[in-house]
Every structure is written in structure tokens, then in C-alpha cells.
Structure 1
């Protein structure tokens, strides 16, 4: 009996202790915003929420929604877009929540950053404050660009609207029912944020070796070399810089100058050319073109990018992170233990010219339909795994024919190619997916590449000044395209006569520039947006190749279903329901 009472007593004690815990809340690990004033890492964490939300932190592969690729992943959201199954209630490309959330964090940071004690040293505190503000403003402009790219468009009245401009941290007392600003007003806000960011940020985060390199405003505060490098030195590589801010300005200006948002105003093309040209000029002009820039994803380039360093090609990128093999697991063909997810189309393959520079449909090209991959632009086999190519650590031959003895063949199994091609670009061939010996490698995911800026300049300069016009620069659209094609190995043995032919015709040069952009930036998430800003045909069917007994037959793999209004994306329907001041884009 005593033993029983003892047990009941212990049980009661435990029970009452548990009840006490239930009714007395534990100390929570929530900090109020004022805590950030004396805890700079906490304040910086608010800003880092912006970096974490940059849409290009990973690959989207929205090429699947264009004429460049299809996928064997039947659950792909981009497949749904390609086949017309996206709505204002279900938009896989939606940036409204992500980018507006990022802007909310950034506005929160901007509302407190002047009160944060970044350092006990007044001069160092001033430098940190400037730098953090510059980063925040550059990021806010970037997120506004992504919102415009995804959600700007024409309303039923024909007016081109952007997004609501929100520059203050919103609280529960704020007015959330704000109308969309005009597209032009949004562009001016982007430029204003970037102009201020330019004033506050260094061109790059690198240590300087001479005190004379310290900006005058900081020299007047008595800042020494060590102090300056502590704030603006190499430890902060991969964060927002003046060079990145300038590249974002060029990217945004190209969108604004494009036909979808510009009614033929040449001044906008000139502005876009000037912004891109400034970035190129700071990189040394034509001579600054990285010889290996088109192969930035291969070991020779990736292995250089340690400790935050970049090659000449990369303006801004995501950190390499740990050794990985997930990209290859998704996209290697089945014989290499991959899922073969993204399948380049025959449309894209046909866009690669011959090595002599001529398009394959030109009589001077020498194209042979019975040997379609011979004597082609070297980028074709660098970027696309064609029938007979070798791949992987063991140089395995890939057979994509209908009667292939392996699962790499056309439509063999659910992880086989649907087009007769597999993606090669971005993948490390030294990744081994064999279950008995899996090994990963470092990868680089660029947020901004110089090649994008070169092509932005070429496009804008051609529209503003013609193929050989240079504005205030030492290079023209023609010069840029020649450098890009020479780097690729196109027209190098014959002087590239096709380029020489089109350099005298603005319309023909426009088509060549657009095609070079298609090739150079394939699988990097550009074509979906490019087709829309160019007002191009979105309904061209995705084609493939059926190979049997050395006979090549082009096949239709997937029809594209786009209504005209889908040139612009929708405002989320849930937002339209909540706020009557928001206007929807026409058709949605």
C-alpha cells in the first residue's frame, strides 16, 4: 500500500508540474525590432531575407514552356504553361508573393538601418551603414524588375501598368489597397534606387592596397586602409555591388525598350544600349570577352571560382555550396543513371548554324540532312546531347534512336527523351551517378553573366544606331556579335561571310542577334521572357527527331497553346479579390 501511495504521489507531482508548464508560457525566442539597434547581425538577417528570395538563386528551366524544350516530367508546372493550363489562380511563374515579400523585408531593413550600431567606431559605422543601404536599394530594384517582368501588362483599356510601388515598411495599420503604378513610373523607381545604390557601393568587393584608393568621403572621416577593407573588402564578395547594380539597370532598360512595353521610342533603345555599354566598357570592351565564358559551367571555370571569386564572365552568382550531383541526376540520360528531364527540341537544334556561319537553310551552308550534326556550330554539341555523342565519366555513347538498345532511345521509358535529344549544358560530365560510386562536383549558378549584357547591348545598339553604329562607345552591335561568334568557333576559318552580309541590314541583324541570344542563353530561363517582350509567336509546336535505320524524320512532340493575352502574365486572382484598386491584365 505504501508503495502504491508513493507511486501515486510521484505521478501527481509530475502531473501538477506538467500543468504548471501548460499554464505558464515558456520564454520565447522572439526579438522585437528595437533589439536590432544593438545587434547588427540580427539587423543584417532582415536584409539577408532579400538575398534568399532572389528568383535566380536556382535554375527554373522555364524553357519547357517555349519552343526550345519539352520535359518528360508530366507533373511539370512549365508543361502546364506550355499547354495553356495556367490561370490567374494557378501561375507557376508568379512573383507577386515572393518578390513583394522580399521588398517588405528590405523596406523593414531600410526603416531601421540608420539606428543600428554597426560598429563602435564612428567612421566604420558610417561605412557599414552606407554599404548595407546600397545593398538593400539594389536588391529592391532587382525585385521590382522581376515583378515587372512577370506581372506588368496591358489592362482592358490598353494602359500598360506595372505594380503598386511600396517604399515604406507595411504594418497592420497600412493601406494595402493600392493601385498599380504605370510601367514607366515603376521603371523610374528602379532607376532611382539603382542610382542611389551606385553612390553607396564599391564597383566590386575586393581589398585595396593603397590608401589613395579610399573614396574621398571616407578619407575625410579618417578611415585607414584596414578599416576600409574591413567593410568593402573581399570578405563580402557575392553581395550586391555597383557593377551588379549597373547590370540590373541594363537588364531593366532592355525590358522597357522592348516592343511589348515600347511603342517604337528609339530613345529607350539608346538608353538601354548606353546602360549595357557602360558595363561592357568597364570590363575592357570587346577585349574583355571571356574566351571560356560560354562554358562557364565546366571545371576549368568553376574551379577558379572559390572563396567568392568570379571569372571574367560572371558578374554575380550563387555560392558554389557543397559538392552535388542533383542537377545531373535530373538531366543525365538513363544510361548515366539520370532522369533525362529536359529535352531540347529540333527547333532549337535547327537554330544552330553551320561552323561556316550560315544558317542551315541557307544554300551556302553545306548542310547535309543525312548527317545533320556534322560541321555545325560547336555550341550545338557543347549544349545538346545528340545521337551518337559521348557523355559521362566513362564517355558512354548515347543512342537516342527509336530502335536504340538502351533506354536512352526516343520514348523508350518515362525517363527517356521525347525529342531525340538530352540537355548537356550546365552539367558536369565528371559527376558519377552510378549507385556503387556516386560522386558530386561543384556547380555555379549565375545570377548575371557578361554574355547577357553583351547581347543586351547588341540588341539595343542595333535598334538605336544600326548594326555598325557605336554611339559613344568603341564597339557596335556587329562587333559584339562577331566576338561572340568567334569565341564559339563560328565563321573562324572563312571570315564569317554570313555576318558580313547581314551587318548592312538592321532587320536581318535583329534576327541574328535574337538567334545568338537564343543559343548563348539556352536553358538559363531567358527565352520564355524574350518571346513575350519581342511580341513573338508563342504557338510554334515543339518538334523532335525520330531516327531509325539512319533516317531522320522530324516529328511534332507537343503543341503550344497560348492565347494572345498570355503575352503578359496575370496579377494573382486572390489579390484582385482582396483589393478593388488593383486592375487585372487584359484577358485574365
Structure 2
């Protein structure tokens, strides 16, 4: 009887408890935005959400959507894009949701930052507020760039439109039916955010050793310890004035390019000036990093102290142990999936060691020994037949009759082109299941080489190959330094470069080719072809090697429409909001 009474009591307790929960919802850990005023860590979390959404935090390998590469993964979204399946619904280049989510967090942060007690000392609190607002403005400009790159385009009226400009936080009562601003208005907003970031941020973060080194803005009221607390080395890898200036240079290059120039007032001269300022602050062409084209290797990455950068890197992610890149891209013999396969198109773009393109009569290119005496970057970035790779220096046989699965089209993880990726991968990673290892990696968000090439492109257009504007270096000087670093034309004075330096059109082709080589597999080729309005339907080619005979083979056609120089506004957004005008050609 007692057992039955006890059971009824427990059930009754649970029943009434359940009723109480049903009518009185449990407390949830959801904080009101105003809570941030007294909780600086919560406020800073809004800012950090912007960092977490930076697209360059991981590599996209969207070269697969260009003539640079294909993939052996038939489900690859960029493969589908390149072969006729790119739509406003299926868009792997979509930045609308990610970037606007980031901007919403940043706008929330900017709306309350002045009210937050960042430190007990009001003077230190002001410095914290300055720094983090500067970071937010720089990040908001970065996300505007990604929105424009992915979604700006020509409407049915012929106007180049940008995206809606949102500068304040939205809530449930906001009107979300925004119109797209003109491209030029978006660029002006981006430039304005960069200017605000420049005014608030240091050139770089680092500890100072004396009160006399405190910047004039804070001098007299702040000592070195308080300054280091806010702007010291601990904050390396966050947004700086230098990084903000590089973002401006990147955006200006896009705006001055053929695809956008009719909707933009940004000139080639301005684009050159913005990139030139970044380069000048780094010592000009003489400041080029000798190891800049292999910045991902062991000797560079493992030697970095916390937050520090090699000379090549302007901005990067933090270091971390991993072997996922190698798992995806090592050849099968090295226990990888061989996912990205560089094309013969890209291989052919690498000149000879003497600097001449392989189709030039002076190149001494040998079709029966095609990888001999080539630009050293070829074998640095791409595994060709017979090259060694991996921790054990395994010879990779990519021939059609290869005895290994590394051969052309042997199995689903084999190369489709006769080549495998080498760039960005740590060759000291071991994927053997019995003794696998990981190694340190980081992702480069902005490299100095990007800035060098941006300047060379814009300076050539503005002032010609040897013109300097207000600087002490020209497009010719930059390209000479880059090629010399790579080991091209070093034994003969680079006569091909000397030949083209007197011709703006030929120099343009060389600069674009150097950009293709130096930045391959880092997410540039897809966007470059479109902003230049070049042929985006060049078929991907490979090489079939058998009995020392090299036969070029077709691998994959590209099926783009002419309107696809510009990406779409997401279909779901156009469907929801009547004021959003779609780019021409997209449904």
C-alpha cells in the first residue's frame, strides 16, 4: 500500500511540475542587446562574429570553375557551376547571407560600442572603443567587397547595381524590402568605412617600450603599459590600418576593371595609388619576401611566433595542426583523394626558365620533355609526372599506363588531367594510417604579392609599363622583382620582360599571366576572368602520357552564358522582396 501511495505521489509531483513548466516557461540564456553595455565580453562577441565569417578563413578552390583546374569529385559544386548548373538557387559563390549576417552583427556592435564600459579607467576604455570600432569599420568594408564581388551586376536597365547599404541594426520591426544601391554608392560607402578604420587603428599591433612612444593621439594621458594593453602584440591578427588599406586596394582594382568601370568613378590611377601606398609602406619592390611564393612551407610556418607574420603575409588566420588539405589533395599513392587536378591550360601558362612563354620561338621549349627548364614555380605548385612528393619523396607516376592509382583516370581518386596539386600542401604530412601525422597550417587572407600584382595591373593601365605616378617604382619594376624571386630570367636578364616593357598591351598580358601563376588555387582566377571580361568558356585540358609520348586531351567543357560575368541575387531574396532587382539574365 505504501509503495502504491509513494508512486501516486511521485506521479502527481511530476504532473504538477509539468503543468507549471507548461504555463511558466523556463528561463533561457538569451540576453538582450542592451546587456552588452555592462558586459564588454558580450559586446566584443558581436565583433568577433564578423571575424568568424570572413570567407578567406578557408580555401574555396573555386579554380575548379575556371580553366585552371577540374575536380575528380563529381559532386563538387564548382564543377557543377562550370558545366551548366549555376543558377540563382544553386550558387556556391553566394555571399548574401553570410556577409549580411556579419554586417548585422557589426552594425549591432557599432550601435552600442560607445556605451560599453570597456575598462574601469575611462582613458583606457576610450582606447578600447577606438580600436574595436576601427576593426568593425574595416570588417564592414571587407564584407561589402565580398557582396559586390559576388552580387553586383548589370540590371535590365543597363545600370551597374551594387547591393543594399545597411548601416544600422535591423530588428523584427524593420522594413527588409530594400532597394539595391548603385555600384558607385556602395564603393563610396566602402571607402568611407576604410577611412574611419584608418583613423582609429594602428598600422600594426605591437608593444612599445617607453611612454614617449605613445602615439600623439593618446600622449600625455596614457602610459606605455596601458597602451600595450589595448594596442599591443596580443592583438596581432586582428584588423589594422595596413589591412584596411589593402582591402581598399583590392576593392578599387575590382571597381576600375572593365566589368565595373562604367558604373564606377574609381580610376586605374586611384587603384594604383591605393595599392602603391601599401607597397611603399613595406619598402617598395626591394621589400619583396624571397620566400613569398612558398609562404606555406615548413621553414616559414613552423618558425612563426604567436601572431607574427612573415614579410609576405599581410593578414592570416591563426595557426593550427591539420592534415585535411593533404587528405583532400595528395595523390592516391600518398593516401590522398587527389581532388583538385590542375589543367594543361595552367601548366602551359608557366614560361620557360629563360622567361619566354613556351609558344615563343626563343623559348627552347621541348614538347618531348615538356617540364624541363621551366619556370621553377611549375614544379613548386603542381605535381607533374615523375615528380616526387610527400614525406617519403615518392615518385608520382601520372601516365595513362601507370602501375599505380596515381595514373590518369585509374580510379575515382586519380587525376583527370595528368596533374595533382602541390601548392598550399605540407609535404611533411604523412597520411599513412599506420603512422599519420599533422602539421601546422594557416590560411593567408591577404598576401603582399596580391598587392604587388594589383599595383602592376593598375599602374600599367594608368601610366604604362614604366610609368610611376607619384611612386618610385613601376609595373615593370614589380613584375621584374616577382619573376626574379621565382627564378625566371635570372641567368639572361629576362629579355622577354625587356621586350614587353615598351608595349602596354603586351605588358597587360604578362601581368595577368603572372597573377594567374602567383595566385593560383587561392581563389582569384574565377573573379579575375569576370572583372576582365575575358573568355570564361575555355575548355579544361589535360595530358595523356604513354611511352614517352605526350598527347593533349580534352577534359571538361565550360558552359557559361554571357550574362554570367556577374553573379545573381539569391532567388529567395528576389522572391521575398519586390524592391530587389535581379541582375540581367538570372531568374
TM range (shorter): over 0.9
Separation in 2, partners of 1:505, 1:406: 48
Following TM superposition, by how much is the alpha carbon of 1:182 offset from its aligned partner in structure 2, in angstroms? 0.8
1:561 to 559, 562, 583: 559
Question: CA offsets per residue over residues 186-233 of structure 1, 9 Å max, x none?
Answer: 11110000001000000001111232321222114x100000010000
- Alignment match, 1:380: 378
Distance 1:2 1:106 in 2: 62
| Contact 2:184 2:263 (C-alpha < 8 Å) held by counterparts | no
Tell me whether 1:359 sits opposite 2:352 in the alignment: no
Please state if 1:312 is matched with 2:327. no
Counterpart mapping for 1:47-66 below 5 A: 47-66=47-66
Task: Tell me the residue number matched to 2:107.
Answer: 107
- Alpha carbons of 1:16 and 1:264: their partners in 2 closer, same or farther (altered >3 Å)? closer
Q: Which residue of 2 aligns with 1:450?
A: 448
Distance 2:108 2:439 in 1: 38
Match of 1:290 in 2: 289
Which residue of structure 2 lines up, in the alignment, with residue 503 of structure 1? Answer: 501
Q: How does 1:168-317 map to 2 (within 5 A)?
A: 168-220=168-220, 222-263=221-262, 268-317=267-316
TM-score after normalising by structure 1: 0.98
For 1:4 and 1:261, the matched residues in 2 are separated by 81
Unaligned runs of 5+ in 2: none
**Could you tell me whether the CA contact under 8 Å between 1:267 and 1:464 is conserved in 2?**
no
- Structure 1 distance, partners of 2:435, 2:462, is 55
Measured after TM superposition, the shift of residue 364 of structure 1 is: 0.5
Tell me the residue number matched to 1:38.
Answer: 38
CA distance in 2, matches of 1:305, 1:328: 21
Give distance in 2, aligned partners of 1:6 and 1:425.
Answer: 71
CA distance in 1, matches of 2:314, 2:474: 21
Q: What do the CA deviations read for 1:292-316 (whole angstroms, capped 9, x no partner)?
A: 0100100111113231110000000
- What's the counterpart of residue 159 of structure 1? 159
The 2-side partners of 1:331 and 1:44 are apart by: 37
Partners of 2:112 and 2:567 lie apart in 1 by 34
Report if aligned partners of 2:183, 2:263 keep a CA contact under 8 Å in 1. Answer: no
Residues 11-37 of structure 1, C-alpha deviation per residue, up to 9 Å, x if partnerless?
443444444444432221111112111
C-alpha separation between the residues in 1 aligned to 2:299 and 2:3?
Answer: 76
For residue 260 of structure 1, report the CA deviation from its aligned partner: 0.5
Q: Distance in 1 between matches of 2:188 and 2:386?
A: 52
What is the CA deviation profile of residues 497-555 of structure 1, one whole-angstrom value per residue up to 9, with x for unaligned ones? 00000000000000000000000000000000000000000000000000111110000
Q: Deviations over 1:359-398 (max 9, x none)?
A: 0000100000000000000000000000000011111110
For the residues of structure 2 that align with 1:34 and 1:19, how far apart are their CA atoms? 32
How far apart, CA to CA, are the structure 2 residues paired with 1:495 and 1:435? 48
Task: Compute the displacement of 1:491 (Å).
Answer: 0.3
Q: Which of 411, 414, 419 lines up with 2:412 in the alignment?
A: 414
Q: Deviation per CA, 1:225-265, whole angstroms, max 9, x where unpaired?
A: 00001000000011000000000010000001101111499
Residue 513 of structure 2 is matched in structure 1 by: 515
Give distance in 1, aligned partners of 2:510 and 2:495.
Answer: 13
SS of corresponding position for 2:228 = helix
Is the Cα–Cα contact under 8 Å of residues 183 and 264 in structure 2 kept in the other structure? no
Alignment partner for residue 441 of structure 1, among 435, 439, 442? 439
* Alpha-carbon distance in 2 for matches of 1:71, 1:3: 68
Give the whole-Å Cα distance in 2 for the aligned partners of 1:264 and 1:325.
Answer: 44
Aligned to 1:6: 6
Aligned residue in 2 for 1:389: 387
Q: Which residue of structure 2 lines up, in the alignment, with residue 481 of structure 1?
A: 479
TM-superposition CA deviations, 1:31-81 (whole Å, max 9, x none) = 111211111000000111111111111000000000000000110110111
1:305-332 Cα shifts (integer Å, max 9, x gaps): 23111000000011112x1100000000
Between 1:2-11 and 1:366-375, the stretch displaced more is: 2-11
| Distance in 2 (alpha carbons) for counterparts of 1:212 and 1:469 | 41
| 1:49-88 superposed matches below 5 A | 49-88=49-88
Q: CA deviation at 1:576?
A: 1.0
Distance 1:47 1:267 in 2: 29
Compute the TM-score of the two structures, normalised by the length of structure 2. 0.98
SS at match of 1:359: coil
| CA distance in 1: counterparts of 2:3 and 2:344, whole angstroms | 83
Aligned-residue offset at 1:165: 0.8
1:492 aligns to what SS in structure 2?
A: coil
d(CA) in 1 for partners of 2:312, 2:400: 39
Tell me: CA distance 1:580–1:3, structure 2 relative to 1, closer, same or farther (3 Å). Answer: closer
Structure 1 runs (4+) deviating above 4 angstroms are: 263-267
Contact 1:333 1:416 survives alignment (8 Å): yes
Residue by residue over 1:449-496, the C-alpha shift from the partner in whole angstroms, topping out at 9 and shown as x without a partner, is 000000000000000000000111111000000000000000000000
Alpha carbons 1:266, 1:464 under 8 Å: kept: no
The Cα shift of 1:266 comes to 9.8
Q: Is the 8 Å Cα contact of residues 266 and 463 (structure 1) preserved in structure 2?
A: no
Structure 2 residue 560 is matched with structure 1 residue 573: no
| Residue 405 (structure 1) aligns with | 403
> Is the alpha carbon distance of 1:530 and 1:75 closer, same or farther for their aligned partners in structure 2, counting shifts above 3 Å?
same
| DSSP-derived class of the 2:172 partner | coil
How many residues matched?
A: 586
**Contact 1:304/1:310 (<8 A) preserved:** no
What is the rounded CA distance, in whole Å, between the counterparts of 2:380 and 2:522 in structure 1? 15
**Secondary structure in structure 1 of the residue aligned to 2:440:** coil
* Aligned Cα root-mean-square deviation (Å): 1.3
- What's the secondary structure of 2:441's corresponding residue? coil
Q: Distance in 2 between matches of 1:349 and 1:453?
A: 24
Q: Secondary structure at the match of 1:432?
A: coil
Cα distance, 1:113 vs. partner? 0.5
CA distance 1:267–1:37, shift in 2 (3 Å) = closer
Report the equivalent of 1:339. 337
